[in-house]
């Protein structure tokens, strides 16, 4: 698609304007500033389309969408690492539409993740259980959801390496392969631990999350605010080894979705702890991403790949970045981050929806799962749909998003 190949790199002008001293954090559910009426109309239209699409597809979804093949969802029975996003999308659709069919479908889907509560073989328990079970508890009050989410947190903290002060990303606990591997994505799994500490009064969950975030802050961000996908440690001594990548172009590149995970994750950790070092890091990651956005505001899959800015797009990175920027805008009380987030969401709404295809089962197109492996290039991905709806509802219905995922700041 020609719109995927822009020839002019966006300048970093204006990025320095985002570096002013942060204002006091905004209260939960508030917005940081004005949204132009034309933008609101475009976002409402996109939300209407998304909810209509999800409503049409949901009755035939029997497992967990992981990505599309020929515009139809392919499924995982156990959810892989993305299982939380389908019930999360259904919850967002319910909040927007108030159609109880979505509520029923969200709970039915989330229940299928129950066996994963005891899965100690993955760091992705936050992705699995926060948008599904934590949200279900917050919206229904049913203690079973809370209990299951806490059990998942118990499984996640078993992956903590106290010598290196990090949560191991991949591999079974008894498998030495990848035992020292840390990835930027894990920042998004830490909020499950913050939730567990708030609910139980046991500070060890949040302590582990904070230590992991401090380690990530120390070794991942480069001086310009970009990040690698992977950082390796010696698992026995905890000694840093160095950066690497799996999803990105190289250890010295900047995988756009990873940058988005980091931006969103550090902002969340600032909200949960009040630690301004985390806010500073979130701002550095945001400023880098903003400075390298192409004029169409749809991120390339890797900000430092040789073919950028003409390269393959990843709309999912745009949706996640938009949510992180809206969160950061509320945390700092500033409009500038919000303005970029609105441009990102508008760009996705105008150029990345599946409106032109009668076959499509997803909402968002032009996503890339794993470019180096040629796995899922310019397809649809479940987290793109989820974060698009979350981002739009952050603008249109912030109090509802707060009900679902907790936008409060300590």
Cα–Cα distance between 268 and 258 in angstroms, integer? 15
DSSP 88-123: HHHHHHHHHH--HHHHHHHHHHHHTTGGGGG--S-S
Yes or no: say if 290 and 336 are a contact pair by the CB < 8 Å rule: no
Q: Does the annotation mark 124 as catalytic?
A: yes
Closest CA to 279 of 236, 312, 222, 324: 324
For residue 48, count other CB atoms closer than 10 A to its CB: 12
Backbone angles phi, psi at 219, to 5 degrees: -110, -20
Per 3-state DSSP, the chain is made up of helix, strand and coil in percentages (nearest 5) of: 55, 10, 35
- Where helices occur in 98-203 by DSSP H, the ranges are 100-111, 125-129, 135-140, 143-157, 190-200
- Cα–Cα distance, 377 to 385 (Å, whole number): 16
Residue carrying the six token digits 């120390």:
218
Token readout for 135 is 């949200």
Pairing assessment for the beta strands 166-167 and 160-161 based on DSSP bridges: antiparallel
Residue 232's DSSP bridge partners are 181, 242
Pick from 310, 320, 316, 309: which is nearest to 286 by CA?
Answer: 320
Residue with tokens 């970093």: 12
Strand partners, 167: 160
In three-state secondary structure terms, 300 is strand
Question: Could you give the CA distance from residue 120 to residue 108 in angstroms, rounded to a whole number?
Answer: 23
Distance CA 204, CA 207 (A): 5
Which of 185, 327, 339, 402 is flagged as catalytic? 185
In this structure, what DSSP letter does residue 58 have?
G
261, 214, 255, 260: which is closest to 238 by C-alpha? 214
Of 102, 136, 135, 130, residue with least CA distance to 117: 130
Q: Which of 80, 100, 118, 124 is catalytic?
A: 124
Active site residues: 124, 185
């Amino acid at each position: 698609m020609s719109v995927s190949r822009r020839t002019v790199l966006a300048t970093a002008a204006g990025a320095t304007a985002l570096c002013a001293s942060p204002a006091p954090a905004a209260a939960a559910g508030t917005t940081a500033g004005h949204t132009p009426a034309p933008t609101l109309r475009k976002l409402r239209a996109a939300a209407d389309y998304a909810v209509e699409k999800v409503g049409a597809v949901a009755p035939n979804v029997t497992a967990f969408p992981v990505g599309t093949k020929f515009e139809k969802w392919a499924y995982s029975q156990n959810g892989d690492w993305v299982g939380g996003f389908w019930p999360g999308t259904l919850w967002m659709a319910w909040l927007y539409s108030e159609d109880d069919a979505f509520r029923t479908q969200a709970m039915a889907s989330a229940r299928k993740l129950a066996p994963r509560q005891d899965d100690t073989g993955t760091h992705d328990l936050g992705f699995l259980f926060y948008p599904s079970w934590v949200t279900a508890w917050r919206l229904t009050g049913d203690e079973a959801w809370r209990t299951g989410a806490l059990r998942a947190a118990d499984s996640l903290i078993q992956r903590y390496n106290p010598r290196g002060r990090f949560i191991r990303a991949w591999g079974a606990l008894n498998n030495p392969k990848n035992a020292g591997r840390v990835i930027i994505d894990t920042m998004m799994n830490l909020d499950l631990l913050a939730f567990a500490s708030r609910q139980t009064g046991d500070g060890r969950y949040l302590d582990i999350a904070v230590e992991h975030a401090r380690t990530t802050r120390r070794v991942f961000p480069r001086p310009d605010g970009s990040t690698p996908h992977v950082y390796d440690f010696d698992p026995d001594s905890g000694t840093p080894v160095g950066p690497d990548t799996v999803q990105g172009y190289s250890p010295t590149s900047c995988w756009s979705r990873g940058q988005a995970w980091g931006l969103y994750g550090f902002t969340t950790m600032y909200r949960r702890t009040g630690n301004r070092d985390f806010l500073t890091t979130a701002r550095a990651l945001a400023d880098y991403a903003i400075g390298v956005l192409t004029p169409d505001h749809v991120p390339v899959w890797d900000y430092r790949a040789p073919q950028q800015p003409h390269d393959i797009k990843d709309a999912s990175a745009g949706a996640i970045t938009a949510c992180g920027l809206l969160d950061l805008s509320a945390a700092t009380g500033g409009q500038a981050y919000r303005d970029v987030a609105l441009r990102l969401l508008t760009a996705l709404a105008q150029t990345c929806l599946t409106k032109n295809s009668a076959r499509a089962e997803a909402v968002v197109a032009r996503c890339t799962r794993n470019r180096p492996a040629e796995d899922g290039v310019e397809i649809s991905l479940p987290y793109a749909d989820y974060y698009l709806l979350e981002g739009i509802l952050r603008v249109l219905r912030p109090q509802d998003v707060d009900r679902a995922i907790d936008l409060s700041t300590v």
